[in-house]
Structure 1
Amino acid sequence: MTDTPVLPPPLRAWLGLIAALAALAVVVLGVLYAGHSEPGTADMWVAPEVGGVRPPWRDVALATDFLGEPAGAAALAVAAVAGCLLLRCPRAAVLVVVGATLTVGVATLLKPVVGRTIHDGHLSYPSGHTAFVTALALVVALLATNLLGLGGAGGTLLVLATALVAGAAMGWAQVGLGAHYPTDVLGGWCTALAVIPATAWLVDGVADRLSDGVAGAGRRQQR
């Protein structure tokens, strides 16, 4: 699977549309909650009590939250890269590193721009933890789609379902621990949905050009 595109061709149109809608959602939510320091109406409807999780579920939330902290995130990324390389999918390994870095980078840059805060002025929109975990889940789902040979509809469904499960798990932990409002979590989820497909397209484009260059050089040497 060395030369297999990390973004399956049957999914490109669907994920391109989803990425565009996700980017729009990130912008709209950012504008709506810019400079706010209180939960919005949607936040109160979803989770009236931010930070209300209690033992033993608090321990589960803390363990989940750790996966978005530097040490936990690094361990997850290393495991994902190793898995991709074992499956001989170098493009997916590159996407893990570049995609996750860009996703977290975008989320980090958006925080001071939006200026939404929670608890003692901590910048909260969008949720970087949710963005990171969702980004990794998307890469794993794209890899699985390739391995299973799924078509456009099945592959898209698998990608979205995987991203939803991962984002919901981390989002629950972030809201339950009082680190984020529900709409922060949604913003982080959408950030990953916007960044990863675009990054996958770029990774494939660069890899294809490099492969063409190597093939062209080989043909010239044979002459």
Structure 2
Amino acid sequence: MQVTKVKELLLFLNRAGGLKSSPRFRASLKSDGDTVAEHSWRLTLMVFLIGHECKVDVDLEKALGIALLHDLAEAKTGDFDAYEFMISKRAVSEKQEKEKEAMEELTEGVAFGDWVRNIWDTFEFQTSKEAKFVKALDRMEGFLHIAEHGVEVYIPKEFHGDYANQAVKAFDEASYHFPELNDMLEVIKADLRRQFDAVGVTWVEDQS
């Protein structure tokens, strides 16, 4: 392998390492949450296992690449907490612009930069079946995170009741092509409903 290529690979890996220290749920979780790297790892594992075990009709190699890179921009921008966006009334377009700039910086000076950005764009603009599959599981991973920590540790609990409703709608849209995922989603939702009931928070989806 050429020395130049080795240096480029190490440079990029060093930049991507920022994901390991980028926390998620900064504004809405009382205790420490996970990092973007931890989220991306489990999402990639979900893509691999669920894609294989449920025999989902996607190119797993492409889907795994998308899962690994889908949040890469957050190595520079940090995670954008949905609750933080709500209370600050920040525009989604601001997030999109910052992430685009971050991707340009992260891939600057490496020969494979265009390839990495193209994979990231595939997820960002949902231009392939693999991207839609990863998006659906990305929503599901968020549900798992809430279920594992317990609804009561989030601030405020009521926000996450509404978040559940919005996330379910987003999941339904993302998983339209993948009915194989519906049974798993229902099991996760049932667990969350029990937790919401236990702390007296309405699961907003039930009011629709």
Q: Is TM > 0.5 for Structure 1 vs Structure 2?
A: no
Higher RCO, Cα 8 Å, sep 6+? 1
Larger Rg: 1
Q: TM range, normalised to the smaller chain?
A: 0.3 to 0.5
